Amino acid sequence: MNSLPPNISKLIGQMIMVGIKGHDRDAVYDFFERNYKYHVGGIILYDEDITTNPPSLHNIRSQQQLSNFTNYLQEFSSNPLLIGIDQEGGKVNRLKEIYGFPKTISWSKLGNINDLKKTELESNNIAKSLNRCGINVNFSPVLDLDISKDNIISQKDRAISSDYKVVFEHAQTSIKCHLDHDIIAVGKHFPGQGSSQGDTHQDWVDVSDTWSDQELRPYNKLIQANNISAIMTSHLYNKHLDKKYPATLSKNIINDLLRREMNFKGVVISDDPQMEAISSRYKLERIIELMICAGVDIFCFGNNLVYDPDIVKKIHHVVLRLLKDQKIDVSMLEKSNERIIKLKSKIGLL
C-alpha cells in the first residue's frame, strides 16, 4: 500500500455524518470524548429516539435548547460541522410545535395550493427556524414524483406533484430560500422513488417494473439550471439501471448516470445505510466499499434505527482496511473532500 497522507483521518471523517444520543453539553462532550481519535464531518439530528420502545425524546426539546446543543457541537468539533435534519414540513417534521417551533405544512399541500409565493413563504419560515437553531443542512425538498399511492412518500404527504415541472419550480424556490439563510437544501431520493411500493427502512424495494426516466426530470432541470448542490440517494433496486446493486451502492447510477450523464458536480449523500434495504443484505465493510466506489461523498448514518456508539470508529477502521487492501484509493476520498469543502464554503463554514 502506498503511504497514506497525514490528513487521512480528516479525509475519512469529512465523509461521515452521524446521529448521536442526547440533547445537552454533556452528550456532546461524551460523543467527542469517545471519538477523540476520529474526525467526523457532520451530525444529523432527530426529535424522537426510535431505538427505544416506545420512542423517547432525543436531540430536540426547545428552540433555546437546540441552539445551545448545535453551538456545543461546533465548539467541541475540530472542524466546522454540517448539522443536518429532515425538516420537510407536515408529517416529516423534526421541529414540532410542541417544542415551540412554528407550524409547517406538507410538501403535498404546497403542491395542491401550487402557488410559488406560498412555497417561498413556507420555505423561508423553515429556513429561518433552522438558521436560528444552528442547523445548516435540510434533507429537503423531496423530488420524488407523486405516482404510487402505496409508498411512504405519498402516504406521508411528502410528494408535491406528479408533474416534474411543478416539482422543479417549487424545489427551485425552496432551495434558493434555504441558501439565502446559509442552509444547504438536499434534493431526494435519487433516482426517484415516487413509483415505488414499499419502504426501504424495512425491506428491499424493487422498482424495475414501475420506474421511468420521467423521475429523473426534476433532477435534470435543477442540475441544468445550476440550482442544486447536494443530492441524497435512495436504496431502491432497479435492474434496468443496475442489475446487481441498489442506487446507494451503485456506480452505474451515481457515477455514470448522475455524475457523467447528468453532469452533477455537487455532493452526493447516502440515505441511511442502517436501513434494512441494504443493512440486511450487506456487511458494513462491503456497504462502505461500494458507496465509495459508487461516488457517495457523505455516508449519513442516522444511528436511530439501531444505535451503535462506536459507528464513527468502525467506519474509520473499515476505510483504512479498504485502503490497505487496495479496494479503494485515496484519490476517491480526496475527490469527495473537494466537493464537501466546496459545499461547506458555499454557506460560509470554511
CA distance 54 to 61: 17
3-state helix, strand, coil in the chain (%, to 5): 45, 15, 45
* Structure confidence at residue 277 as a pLDDT band (50, 70, 90): confident
Q: In this predicted structure, what is the pLDDT of residue 148? A: 82
pTM of the model: 0.96
Average confidence (pLDDT) over 232-258: 97
* Structure confidence at residue 276 as a pLDDT band (50, 70, 90): confident
Q: In this predicted structure, what is the pLDDT of residue 350? A: 86
Strands (E), 205-314: 230-233, 267-269, 299-301
89-100 burial, b if ≥16 CB within 10 A, otherwise e?
bbebbbbeeeee
Q: In this predicted structure, what is the pLDDT of residue 202? A: 64
Question: Is the per-residue pLDDT at 137 higher than 70?
Answer: yes
Residues 6+ apart with CB under 8 A from 213: none
For residue range 8-44, what is the model confidence (pLDDT) as tens digits? 999 999 999 999 999 999 999 999 999 999 999 999 9
Out of 119-133, 148-162, 181-195, 196-210, which region has the weakest mean confidence (pLDDT)? 196-210
Domain ranges in the chain?
A: 14-343
Name the strand (E) or helix (H) holding 210.
none
The better pLDDT of the pair 154, 47 is held by 47
3-class SS string, 137-178 = EECCCECCCCCCCCEHHHHCCCCCCCCHHHHHHHHHHHHHHH
Plot region of 22 (φ>0 → left; ψ -120 to 50 → alpha; else → beta): left
Instruction: Tell me whether residue 201 is exposed, middle or buried, using C-beta atoms within 10 angstroms of its C-beta: 0 to 12, 13 to 18, 19 or more.
Output: middle
Beta strand pairing call for 87-89 and 92-93: antiparallel
Q: How many CA atoms lie within 13 A of 163 on its CB side?
A: 7
Helix (H, G, I), strand (E, B) or coil at 101: coil
CA distance 80 to 73: 9
Beta strand pairing call for 230-233 and 187-190: parallel
Specify the CATH architecture of the domain 14-343: Alpha-Beta Barrel (3.20)
Closest CA to 292 of 320, 261, 264: 320
φ, ψ (nearest 5 deg) of residue 268: -105, 125
Q: In this predicted structure, what is the pLDDT of residue 152? A: 80
For residue range 171-223, what is the model confidence (pLDDT) as tens digits? 999 999 999 999 999 999 999 999 988 666 666 789 999 999 999 999 999 99
